[in-house]
Structure 1
Amino acid sequence: MEESKGRVCVTGGTGFIGSWIIKNLLQDGYSVNTTVRSNPEQKRDISFLTNLPGASQNLQIFNADLSNPGSFSAAIEGCIGVFHVATPMDFELQEPEEVVTKRTIDGALGILKACLNNSNTVKRVIYTSSSSAVLYHNSSGKDYDSEEVVLNEDFWSDVNYLRASKVDGWSYSVSKTLTEKAVLEFGEQNGLDVVTLVPTFVLGPFICPKLPSSVLASLSLAFGDEGPFGWLLQAPMVHVDDVARAHIFLLEHPNPKGRYNCSSSLVTVETISQVVSSKYPECQLSMIDKLKQIEGTKLQDLSSKKLIDAGFVFEYGLEEMVDGAIRCCKEKGYM
């Protein structure tokens, strides 16, 4: 039997990105520990993970919760790398923003402390951030104004602006921005190798049974519906497999530094509707005329130059993103 490349931990393994990272890690020859939130009221069906190729030999599942950061220690023990993907997704504001933000930061720092305690084995931590930690800001005082501005890793969302403006998804954006800053600062202060990946709207097929919010938002753009981030007219996107491969690329890279944007396409309502119409002519798309009457949002692009210069190659375009997502939605009964 081929020897494992080593054991790694993926938090939030039941999510869209986490499950895809696990799939690729198993394919690449890693042994994987993953964490899932236990639910005493309901037994979770995680067969979509345990049925992955290689899972029976090389996947171990642990219960852990961000509200109890110490619960991640067992999953991290003996790992050479940790992918911290788990994050609260509260777009409906069921909890106060400060409560969600505190739990997200405390959970992340607790995981990093566990990595520090296992520093004899843990060589690197990759934190999954979000373009919401980059895109939202008050334009005054910085060159954010033009839609043509491509945002690099120096740009951060303005937390004060988010809290004041309360744009769609603002609470999530605050928590992701402050948590990414906290994990990078912790790494610098404690000599722990921490890098962050900043994906944009992630599209493509999904392993998890639940419809991912980023797929919902992206297809809302295609079908002219309001998504979890409101009415979108333009958004940067990336295929889920490219995101998963970028995580593993950063684990294996000899010397990555800081944060890395991960975006492959700036998508407009016109371009995505053309792709849908050409591949799925049965879909009735009337969104372009409808959206002319709506004051929607045009999000700016994120530059992936730093990631590409480090040697990463994006493999998927918009057609593959849309086709994979729609096929998967049909198979799982969402369309």
Structure 2
Amino acid sequence: MVKKVSRVCVTGGSGYIGCMLVKKLLEKGHSQKLRFLSDASKVGLLKSLPNADTNLLLFRADIYDPNEFEPAIEGCEFVFHVATPLQHNPQSSQYKDTTEAAVAGVRIIAYSCIRSQTVKRLIYTGSTLSMSSRKDDGVGFKPILDESCWTPLDASSTYGNAYTMGYIKSKTLGEKVMLSYNDFGDSKLEVVTLPCGLVGGESLLPNLVSSVGVILAQLTGDLFSCNALKFMQEFMGSIPLVHVDDVCQAHIFCMEQPSMKGRFCCAVARHPIKEIAMYFHETYPEYKLHKESTEGPKEGSKSDFSKLKKIGFQYKFGMKEILDDSVAWAKKLNVISFSQAV
């Protein structure tokens, strides 16, 4: 395994996964270049991390300006593409929606890596929503959910909306395009994609992120989060979960391999909505569950998330730790209202 200190680039370094990944990379001594954001609080958080004063270099880069990524990637050995456009800029004349912007971002990053002639491996943070085992006609599920599955983009949804369906499309097409660079001309660039489950756990951020809000939907009753939870089970058959710490360690694991490319699901297991509800009910009896969020769509096929583990990666956190740490973070922030039991 590669243990030497490396120069890396992280896009989306101020986000939930990104800032935790930056922290862990700095702890290992890697020097980093990050996409710079104008939000002073986010930049301040990154600058306050251990070893940031000597090993962290911030760059301004915008997905709507391809030329801004070149300086950040130049001279790096590894690039982590964590960022993804979630809210489309309606003033943009380049892209019509988030899907176009996301795919364009993938191409911009990949081409910049190839042109650098120094980047060995590009690691992309995907979503398990790109690997639904729903049949192509959208009716029922295939026998096994694994990395061979791709979400049918024309599948209908009972719980989805324009935002969630757009997210699925952007992550699915973006990942497919990203993987295509493993066979791009004479390039020696290796591409790894990590479709991640619903990410939970604590964070360095001062706000509750959307994925944790979805995990806690049964305790909060937030309508958007409840629908998102059902939407995920509708497409995945149950809820793939993963701890943010394991997500970051998986990214670093993929960087440290002597050679690696391809698609590797990053989720410790899948749990149906009913099972998550039962855990909350038994562990946090002081809160009442919202009944409308404890029943989900039909459960799907069995899953095989062993591909990453077969090459040596080990998850440290299971469902219990993911749910408990998510609740603890929400309580610590005091930014979310739990329904008191009667």
- Same structural fold, with TM-score higher than 0.5 when normalized by the shorter chain: yes
C-alpha distance after superposition, 1:66-105 (max 9, x if no partner): 11122111111111100001001249x9999952111111
**Residue of structure 1 in register with 2:304 after alignment:** 303
Give 2:182's aligned amino acid.
Answer: G
Mapped contact 1:139–1:145 kept (Cα < 8 A) = no
Identity of aligned residues (%): 34
Question: Residue 257 in 1 paired to residue 261 in 2?
Answer: yes
C-alpha distance after superposition, 1:159-215 (max 9, x if no partner): 2336x9883410011011111111111331142211100101011112223322211
**Residue of structure 1 in register with 2:18 after alignment:** 18
- Which segments of 5 or more consecutive residues in structure 1 lack a partner in the other structure? none
Mapped contact 1:10–1:82 kept (Cα < 8 A) = yes
Mapped contact 2:7–2:75 kept (Cα < 8 A) = yes
Question: Residue 200 in 1 paired to residue 197 in 2?
Answer: yes
Q: 1:224, 1:57 → 2: CA distance? A: 44
The answer to which of 51-60 and 125-134 deviates more is: 51-60
Counterparts in 2 of 1:67-82, with a 5 A limit?
A: 67-82=64-79
Q: How far off its partner does 1:291 sit?
A: 4.3
Give 2:110's aligned amino acid.
Answer: L
TM-score of the aligned structures, taking structure 2 as reference length: 0.83
**Residue of structure 1 in register with 2:328 after alignment:** 327
Mapped contact 2:201–2:322 kept (Cα < 8 A) = yes
Report the 3-state secondary structure (helix = DSSP H, G, I; strand = E; otherwise coil) of the residue aligned with 2:155. helix
Q: How far off its partner does 1:139 sit?
A: 4.6
Mapped contact 2:86–2:98 kept (Cα < 8 A) = no
C-alpha distance after superposition, 1:33-56 (max 9, x if no partner): 111333xxx645432222222222
Out of 100, 104, 114, which is 2:102 matched to? 104
Report the 3-state secondary structure (helix = DSSP H, G, I; strand = E; otherwise coil) of the residue aligned with 2:178. helix
Counterparts in 2 of 1:234-313, with a 5 A limit?
A: 234-285=238-289, 287=290, 289-291=291-293, 296=297, 298=299, 302-313=303-314
**Residue of structure 2 in register with 1:30 after alignment:** 30
Mapped contact 2:14–2:46 kept (Cα < 8 A) = yes
TM-score of the aligned structures, taking structure 1 as reference length: 0.85
- Which segments of 5 or more consecutive residues in structure 2 lack a partner in the other structure? 337-342
In structure 2, do the counterparts of structure 1 residues 99 and 245 end up closer, same or farther at CA, with 3 Å as the change threshold?
same
Q: 1:319, 1:295 → 2: CA distance? A: 20
Out of 111, 114, 122, which is 1:113 matched to? 111
Q: 1:4, 1:51 → 2: CA distance? A: 24
Q: 2:184, 2:288 → 1: CA distance? A: 54
Q: 2:203, 2:308 → 1: CA distance? A: 24
Out of 167, 178, 182, which is 2:160 matched to? 167
C-alpha distance after superposition, 1:237-274 (max 9, x if no partner): 10011111111111111222311001112223343234
Mapped contact 1:27–1:54 kept (Cα < 8 A) = yes
Give 1:158's aligned amino acid.
Answer: P
Report the 3-state secondary structure (helix = DSSP H, G, I; strand = E; otherwise coil) of the residue aligned with 1:284. coil
Report the 3-state secondary structure (helix = DSSP H, G, I; strand = E; otherwise coil) of the residue aligned with 1:14. coil
CA RMSD of aligned residues (A): 3.0
Counterparts in 2 of 1:121-140, with a 5 A limit?
A: 121-135=118-132, 137-140=134-137
Give 1:88's aligned amino acid.
Answer: P
**Residue of structure 2 in register with 1:177 after alignment:** 172
In structure 2, do the counterparts of structure 1 residues 227 and 253 end up closer, same or farther at CA, with 3 Å as the change threshold?
farther
Report the 3-state secondary structure (helix = DSSP H, G, I; strand = E; otherwise coil) of the residue aligned with 1:282. coil
Q: 2:58, 2:304 → 1: CA distance? A: 35
